[in-house]
Structure formats: structure tokens, C-alpha cells
């Protein structure tokens, strides 16, 4: 069935508006992806609906409390029946977005996209009580070495990157395979009409009709750009047999 992503967040409106647009929005409308949000404030035990409190040991900022998060997570599990499932991929994975996490890359995105259920936790303030992370979080992920004021943007990024890889979401299966990074290389340049413009002409090979030559040109462009812009990526690239044969032609 459709992949399910639950997001525990103090700003459910933000996640929901992101999940309404574009490729992800269409995937939801078509029933290929299920997304729900849960606000820890709805699980608070006081009249102020508090989900955060001051930091033990002093210092600035607030910390998200264990109990509202634990109750929100229990509700996610009850709503999704995630504990009842046996298959390895059916079990929900709980992911906390933070700069302290493992860096997200396309290989990680592809791995997450194969799961049936993800539960994302977006933090705010100084972070989340460490006891919740120890007991309830399976994995901590960072979207990059910079600090956001909350994990919502990071969760939206995970939803988009994972959502577009779901079966049937992109019109053309080849379109995901052509992505930058799916073969470990950066993407080649793209052109559309007009063929001739004040700002330049479309490379002749692309209008030649010679499909092998076009594939070879695109691969060389990808290799060249990767070498110039992201030489670090080349250390990890393994070109397959077909690709090496194409270059040798």
C-alpha cells in the first residue's frame, strides 16, 4: 500500500501546506502517499498546552518535554497500527531531524523511500529532552551543516525527497533514474525551445537524432561537471559496464 509519513511538529500548518503542493501534493491526491501531522501541544497536561520547559543546568532557551512527545507518538502508533506489523520494512522508523544527525544524502533518501512508514519529529527551541531521543528515536538526521530555527523545513525536505521516489509518483520512472546523484554524478545541462536564441544555441548533438551520441554527450557533461564542481563525489562513483562501454565508443 501507500507509504505513510507522520510528522510530530509544533507547526503542523507548515508541513501541511508543503505537502499540498507539487509532486507530493499530487501523490497524496492520487493515494500514493499518506501524510499526517501531530502537534505535541495537543498532548500537553496543563491549561497552557505547554510542550516545552526551561533547560536544567541553566542557560538560554527551552527544551521540548518528554511527556507530550511520548503521548503524540503513542497516538501515531495507535492510528497507524505500526506495532502490529511484522515485516521489517512495515515497522515505523522514528526519525529526529537535527544538525547533530547523520547527513542526509540521496542513498539515504532511497533507503527511507523503501519503508512503509516513517515518523518524523521536528524540534523547536534548543531541542528535545535527551530521554525521548534515547527511548523513542531510531535515527537522527541532518539535512546539512547549518542551523535552522526548527526541524520543520528539514522534515519537509525529507517528505519531498522520499515522496517523489514512491512508485507511480513521477510520470516517468526514468525521470528518477536521470536525477543527479542516482548514479552518483551531477546532472547534465538541459535545453528546450528555441534552438537558436540571442543567448546561445542548443548544442548540435542534441538535435542530431543520434541517440547513442546524445547519451554519450550527456554522460560526459555529467562527468565533467562533477569533476569541476564536486570532485569529492567522484571518489565514490563506480561507473557500470554499460556506461563505460558508452564512453569508449
With vertex at residue 182, the alpha carbon angle to CA 243 and CA 93, rounded to the nearest 5 degrees, is: 145
C-alpha cell at 169: 509518483
> Is position 127 an interface residue for ligand ADE (rule: CB under 6 A)?
no
Out of 23, 110, 148, 213, point to the residue binding ligand ADE (CB under 6 A).
148
- Beta strand segments in the chain, E: 3-8, 33-38, 52-54, 62-64, 93-103, 117-122, 127-128, 139-142, 196-197, 200-201
Contact 128, 64 (CB under 8 A): yes
Choices 29-37, 67-75, 137-145, 188-196 (CB under 6 A): range interacting with ligand ADE:
137-145
Q: Helix crossing, 211-229 with 241-248: angle to 10°?
A: 100
Q: How far is the CB of 99 from ligand ADE (least distance, A)?
A: 4
Mind telling me the catalytic residues? Answer: 99, 126, 164, 179
Which of 35-43, 138-146, 213-221, 234-242 is the region at the interface with ligand ADE (rule: CB under 6 A)?
Answer: 138-146
Binding mask 83-122 for ligand ADE (x = CB under 6 A): --------------xxx-----------------------
Using CB under 6 A as the binding rule, whether residue 9 contacts ligand ADE is answered as no
Residue pair 5/157 in contact by the 8 Å Cβ criterion = no
Residue 154 touches ligand ADE, criterion: CB under 6 A: yes
Verify binding: residue 158, ligand ADE, rule CB under 6 A: no
Amino acid at each position: 500500500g501507500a507509504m505513510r509519513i507522520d510528522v510530530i511538529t509544533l507547526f503542523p500548518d507548515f508541513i501541511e501546506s508543503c505537502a499540498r503542493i507539487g509532486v507530493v501534493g499530487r501523490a497524496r491526491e492520487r493515494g500514493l502517499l499518506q501524510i499526517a501531522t501531530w502537534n505535541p501541544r495537543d498532548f500537553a497536561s496543563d491549561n497552557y498546552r505547554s510542550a516545552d520547559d526551561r533547560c536544567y543546568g541553566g542557560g538560554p532557551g527551552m527544551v521540548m518535554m518528554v511527556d507530550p512527545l511520548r503521548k503524540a507518538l503513542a497516538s501515531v502508533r495507535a492510528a497507524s497500527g505500526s506495532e502490529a506489523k511484522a515485516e521489517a520494512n512495515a515497522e515505523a522508523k522514528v526519525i529526529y531531524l537535527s544538525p547533530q544527525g547523520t547527513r542526509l544524502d540521496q542513498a539515504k533518501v532511497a533507503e527511507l523511500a523503501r519503508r512503509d512508514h516513517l515518523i518524523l519529529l521536528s524540534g523547536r527551541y534548543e531541542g528535545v529532552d535527551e530521554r525521548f531521543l534515547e527511548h523513542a528515536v531510531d535515527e537522527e538526521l541532518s539535512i546539512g551543516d547549518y542551523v535552522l530555527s526548527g526541524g520543520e523545513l528539514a522534515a519537509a525536505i525529507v517528505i519531498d525527497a522520499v515522496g517523489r521516489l514512491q512508485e507511480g509518483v513521477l510520470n516517468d520512472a526514468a525521470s528518477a533514474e536521470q536525477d543527479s546523484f542516482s548514479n552518483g554524478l551531477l546532472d547534465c545541462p538541459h535545453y528546450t525551445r528555441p534552438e537558436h536564441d540571442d543567448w546561445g544555441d542548443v548544442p548540435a548533438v542534441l538535435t542530431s537524432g543520434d541517440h547513442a551520441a546524445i547519451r554519450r554527450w550527456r554522460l560526459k557533461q555529467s562527468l565533467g561537471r562533477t569533476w569541476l564542481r564536486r570532485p569529492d563525489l567522484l571518489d565514490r562513483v563506480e561507473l557500470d559496464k554499460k556506461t563505460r562501454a558508452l564512453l569508449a565508443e
